[in-house]
Structure formats: C-alpha cells, structure tokens
C-alpha cells in the first residue's frame, strides 16, 4: 500500500472535501511504532461486505439501507489488545467506498480516507485492511465516502485490554444513530429512503428561512438500529455492575443521554481511561465514545432517553433498561434525576503506557470555524478545502491546535491517526484528557488540543458532523 501524499492528488479530488476539514501533513516516513512490533500475537480475520439491504428500524417505514453484512449496525468487531486485525472489504455497493477505523491510530495507508490515504474501492472491488489493535478502547468503524455513514455503514470496534482492570458483570454496546426516513429530496432519495442534505430552496422550505441549511430533519432515532417502539430491552439483574460502551455514529445529533433511575459513572472518554466521575446524563457528540458503569440497584422498567434542553419533558425515547423479573409493562417514573451533565472539564485523564504526555509544544495553529448561516459551506479559517491552510508538521513535532468557533453550531472536531490531549474547552483551561474528538461549542466557543506527531502520513482533520465536512458531491 502506497501512502499518497496530499500534494500528489489532483485538485478535483480535494474539492470533494470542501468544508470543515483539512489535512495534516506529516512528512518523513518512518517504520511503524516500535511498540507495535513488540507484539506478534494472533490475528483475526473479518469479512465486511457492503451491500444494499431492505431494513426496518421498527417504525413501519422499511427502506433500502446501505449495510455491512446486511445489518444495521454492521457486525461488532471485537479483538484483544495487540491482536492483528485483518478486514477484507468487499464492495457490493453501487458507489466507491472505504472503511475508516475511527479513533484507532492505524498506519496511514490503512486509515480509509478516499483520495487521501487510499484509492477508494470501486463497486465489485475488494481491499484488505490490516493493522494491530492498539491501544484498548471503544472505537467505531464507518465508511468515509460521501454520506455512506449516514446510510448505515457503521459499526462498533472494541479492543479489549489484555487484563481488564475494572470488573463488571455485564456489558452492552449502544450505537446511537439519527435517521431521516422522510422523502425530502426527490426520487433518488425516496428510493434510498434517506434524504440528502437540505440545500437551497428545499432546505429553506423545510426549515424556514434563516435556519441553518444542510441539516437534515430527523424523524427516527435508534439505538443499535431499532427505534424505541421496536427496541430490545437492555436486561440486567439486581446488583449487576453494568458497563455500557456508548458510541455516537450519528451524522449530526449531539445527545444528552439519560437512563432513568440510574446515574452513570464515566470511566473512559473516546476509549481513554479517566478518573471515574458520576453524571446524571451523558452528553456525547458525533464521533465520540464514552464507557460508563452503573450499578443496577433500582429494579424496574426504565426509559433510556435523550434530554432536550436538559429537560426530561422535551426529550425523546430511545430504549428500555429492564430488570429481570419485572412483568409490568409500565415504565417507572424517573424520580432521581439530578443535574450533573459532563463537560470536558470534569474529566481527568489517567496516564497510559501507549500515549506519551505532551510536555511542551513547538508548533501552534489557530483554526477558526465558521459558516452555516446562509451559505452552504462550512469553513476553516474562512476558506474551504483545498484552499485551506494545510497544517504541515514533522515527525516528533509537538503540536497545538486552537479552535475558535465563530458559528452558531457546535462542531465536534476529529483528528485521524492520533490521540490528542484536550488542554482547554469553553472557558475552562487546564483540562488534561486524551481524546480524538472534541466538541467546540458554538458562539465564540473555544477548544485547544495538543498532540505528538508520531504517526507519519497525511491525516484528515475535520468536523464530525457529516453535513459539515463539505460538498461530497462537489
Ligand atoms: Cu469518524 Cu474522518 O471520521
Ligand atoms: Cu461542524
């Protein structure tokens, strides 16, 4: 696999990525991380076939979704720390595709960004992704081509630690996804069952003049591919210590997730361990993952729901948390809700052997995020790719990126190939957690991250709102 340097790509390819996105150029190729080669464990082979499949989310509006192996979400990929993962991708979709291993610092050629790290896999084609599963954590895999993620091409990627330090009795993975099954954009979308971004007049009519363009309206929210009415309850026994790996592959919804009757203790943010901290509801942006624990000590049938405007009254239902032996179909009233909701400042990272702390930086970049009002483009530093300032760095650089959000929407900024340390968010400074995706709050919101450039290649860096990446169809 040849690593494609950005300079070798032609201009047309870049235009596809106009929007809040850019690339980091890490020059000087070196052999892979020595840590990786210290592992020579077994390997695991997985087949992923992208194809079109009739899907019913449970809301009585079956449609043709884009799936991995005929399911939504795609199959859970679960490996042990250090195991070598080989994924054979077969493209039976009508379009070119790639798979991205969101959050996992894989070698650049395996990162799955079309025209940046690989030639996309054409319909009928195959591609083998191969990398070592390190470090342990909760990750996400998804197509990185066009709007395919939003059509159903995503799944969980779990790297289990060699030795689990936090014991628990049960574990569930929750993939939260927003769906627009309405016919909003003409015959093509009626057929596909998914609307396209609402541009121009269509967007104005649907949202009212003046509202942000390009944001689909959602009429279904699912956990693990089922709407609330059709959901399978998450079952627990009284006394269980339960781990939930909560993953947000939605195209643009930032959730405030609540499990009625139960506070949750955050133990990992984007797969990285943090000092445990308890919240009543979990705020989770697109592309983010949180591992939480809870003690099942409040028997009943409970709603899992999203809090809107921090109020249970205006939220929407997502699923059911159910104790063994509860026969009643009536849901308990959420009686013990407090107001603890995570922002990054309440989290504190734990040192890990895989990720060196950033001690001092030698390069600082400032990124202004703007756009959205009446313009179909979201930009970094006022410019859309490929005219954006590429962030050019050398191996070993210690880089700081400072974000300023001049727009009225939150932007979950995601960096490929690296974990960064969050060093400030909002008005808070001195935060020190490792992540790969960070929500930059709207209306002059800020955020700053630092990382060591230790994984050479051209790395994509973008807002994880799928409708802010840019004009894929441009
Ligand atoms: Cu999940 Cu480029 O990202
Ligand atoms: Cu954005």
Q: Which atom, in ligand 1's list, is nearest to the CA of 102? A: 1
Instruction: Produce one character per residue of 37-64: b if its CB has 16 or more CB atoms within 10 Å, e if not.
Output: eeeeeeeeebebbbebbebebbbebebe
Ligand 1 proximity of 102 Cβ (cutoff 6 Å): yes
Across 287-419, the runs of DSSP E, i.e. the strands, are 289-295, 301-308, 311-323, 363-371, 378-380, 391-394, 398-405, 411-415
Which regions of 35-143 does DSSP assign to beta strands (E)? 43-55, 63-68, 77-80, 84-91, 99-102, 126-132, 137-143
Separation of CA 217 and ligand 1 centre (Å): 22
Strands 457-463 and 21-27: antiparallel
Distance of CA 375 to the CA centre of its chain: 25
Is residue 416 lining ligand 1, measured as CB closer than 6 Å? yes
Residues 6+ apart with CB under 8 A from 128: 86, 87, 88, 89
Closest CA to 110 of 437, 391, 454, 456: 456
Ligand 2 centroid to 72 CA: how many Å? 25
Q: Which of 267, 454, 427 is nearest to 347 (CA)?
A: 267
CB within 8 Å of 202: residues ≥ 6 apart: 184, 185
Residue 202's pLDDT is what? 41
C-beta of 142 in contact with ligand 1 (< 6 A):
yes
Q: 414 CA to middle of ligand 1, Å? A: 7
Nearest-Å Rg of the Cα atoms of the chain is 21
pLDDT at 407: 87
Q: Nearest to residue 437, comparing CAs of 461, 454, 453, 457? A: 461
pLDDT (tens digit per residue) in 302-339: 999 998 766 666 678 999 999 999 999 999 998 777 88
Positions in the chain short of pLDDT 50: 1-18, 28-35, 37, 182-214, 374, 376, 386, 471-474
Report pLDDT for 71: 95
Contact 153, 102 (CB under 8 A): no
> How confident is the model at residue 472, as a pLDDT?
45
DSSP letters along 245-291, please?
A: EEE---SSPPEEEEETTB-EEEEEETTEEEEEEEESBEEE-TT-EEE
Residues 196-241: tens digit of each pLDDT: 444 433 443 344 433 343 455 677 899 999 999 999 999 999 999 9
**Ligand 1 near 462 CB (within 6 A):** yes
State the ligand closest to the CA atom of 247: 1
Q: Return the residue whose CA atom lies nearest to atom 1 of ligand 1.
A: 102
Q: Is 24:420 a contact under the CB 8 Å cutoff?
A: no
Distance 140 CA to ligand 1 centre (A): 9
| C-alpha dist (Å) from residue 288 to 187, 249, 331, 367 | 33, 8, 29, 20
Q: What is the pLDDT of residue 469?
A: 73
- Which run of H or of E encompasses 206? helix 200-207
Helix ranges, 264-368 (H): none
Q: How many helices (H) and strands (E) does the chain have?
A: 4, 30
**Ligand 2 center–CA 24 separation, angstroms:** 18
Q: How far is the CA of 441 from the centre of ligand 2 (A)?
A: 10
Query: Whose CA is closest to 76, among 151, 187, 4, 171?
Result: 171
Query: Nearest residue CA, atom 3 of ligand 1?
Result: 102
pLDDT at position 380: 73
pLDDT of 409:
87
> What separation in Å is there between the alpha carbon of 464 and the centre of ligand 1?
6
Q: Please tell me the number of the ligand nearest to residue 288's CA.
A: 1
Give the number of the ligand closest to the Cα of residue 20.
Answer: 2
Nearest atom in ligand 1 to the alpha carbon of residue 460 is 2
Which of 268, 47, 48, 33 has the alpha carbon at shortest distance from 132?
33
Contact (Cβ atoms closer than 8 angstroms) between residue 323 and residue 332: no
State the ligand closest to the CA atom of 101.
1
Q: What is the DSSP string of 41-52?
A: --EEEEEEEEEE
**Mapping DSSP to helix (H, G, I), strand (E, B) and coil, where does residue 7 land?**
helix
Residues flanking ion ligand 2, Cβ below 5 Å: 20, 411, 463, 465, 468
Taking the complete model, does pTM exceed 0.75, yes or no? yes
pLDDT recorded at residue 9: 35
Q: Ligand 1 mean position to 350 CA, how many Å?
A: 25
Which ligand has its closest atom nearest to the C-alpha of 469?
2
Rounded to an integer, what distance in angstroms lies between the CA atom of residue 139 and that of residue 161? 13
Q: Cβ(460) to ligand 1 under 6 A?
A: yes
Residue 468, ligand 1, Cβ within 6 A: no
Quote the CA–CA distance of 277 and 269 in Å, as a whole number. Answer: 11
Cα–Cα distance measured from residue 306 to residue 317, given in angstroms and rounded to the nearest whole number: 6
């Amino acid at each position: 696999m040849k690593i494609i340097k950005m300079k070798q790509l032609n201009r047309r390819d870049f235009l596809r990525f106009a929007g809040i996105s850019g690339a980091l150029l890490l020059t000087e190729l070196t052999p892979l991380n020595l840590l990786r080669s210290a592992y020579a464990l077994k390997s695991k082979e997985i087949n992923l076939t992208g194809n079109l499949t009739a899907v019913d989310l449970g809301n009585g509006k079956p449609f043709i979704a884009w799936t991995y192996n005929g399911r939504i979400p795609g199959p859970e990929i679960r490996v042990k720390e250090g195991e070598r993962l080989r994924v054979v991708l077969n493209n039976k979709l009508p379009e070119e595709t790639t798979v991205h291993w969101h959050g996992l610092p894989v070698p650049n050629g395996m990162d799955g960004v079309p025209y940046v790290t690989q030639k996309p896999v054409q319909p009928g084609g195959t591609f083998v992704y191969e990398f070592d599963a390190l470090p342990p954590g909760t990750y996400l895999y998804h197509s990185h081509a066009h709007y395919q993620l939003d059509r159903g091409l995503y799944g969980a990627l779990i790297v289990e630690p060699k030795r689990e330090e936090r014991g628990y009795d049960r574990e569930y993975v929750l993939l939260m996804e927003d769906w627009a099954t309405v016919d909003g954009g003409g015959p093509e979308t009626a057929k596909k069952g998914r609307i396209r971004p609402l541009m121009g007049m269509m967007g104005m009519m649907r949202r009212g003049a003046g509202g942000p363009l390009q944001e689909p309206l959602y009429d279904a929210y699912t956990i693990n591919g089922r709407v609330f009415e059709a959901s399978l309850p998450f079952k627990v026994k009284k006394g269980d210590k339960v781990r939930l790996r909560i993953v947000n592959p939605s195209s643009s919804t930032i959730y405030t997730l609540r499990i009625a009757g139960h506070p949750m203790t955050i133990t990992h943010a984007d797969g990285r361990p943090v000092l445990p901290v308890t919240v009543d509801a979990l705020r989770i942006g697109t592309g983010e993952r949180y591992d939480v624990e809870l003690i099942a000590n409040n028997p009943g049938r409970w709603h899992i729901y999203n809090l809107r405007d921090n109020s249970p009254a205006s939220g929407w239902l997502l699923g059911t948390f159910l104790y063994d032996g509860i026969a009643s179909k009536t849901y308990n009233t959420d009686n013990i809700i407090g107001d603890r909701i995570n922002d990054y400042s309440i989290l504190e990272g734990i040192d890990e052997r895989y990720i060196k702390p950033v001690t001092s930086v030698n390069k600082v970049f400032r990124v202004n995020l703007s756009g959205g009002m009446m313009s179909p483009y979201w930009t970094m530093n006022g410019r859309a790719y490929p005219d954006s300032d590429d962030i050019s760095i050398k191996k070993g650089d210690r880089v700081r990126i400072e974000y300023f959000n001049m727009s009225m929407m939150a932007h979950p900024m995601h960096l490929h190939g690296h974990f960064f340390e969050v060093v400030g968010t909002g008005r808070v400074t001195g935060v020190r957690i490792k992540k790969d995706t960070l929500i930059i709050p709207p209306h002059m919101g800020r955020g700053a991250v630092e990382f060591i450039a230790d994984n050479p290649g051209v790395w994509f860096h973008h807002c994880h709102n799928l409708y802010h990446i840019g004009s894929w169809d441009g």
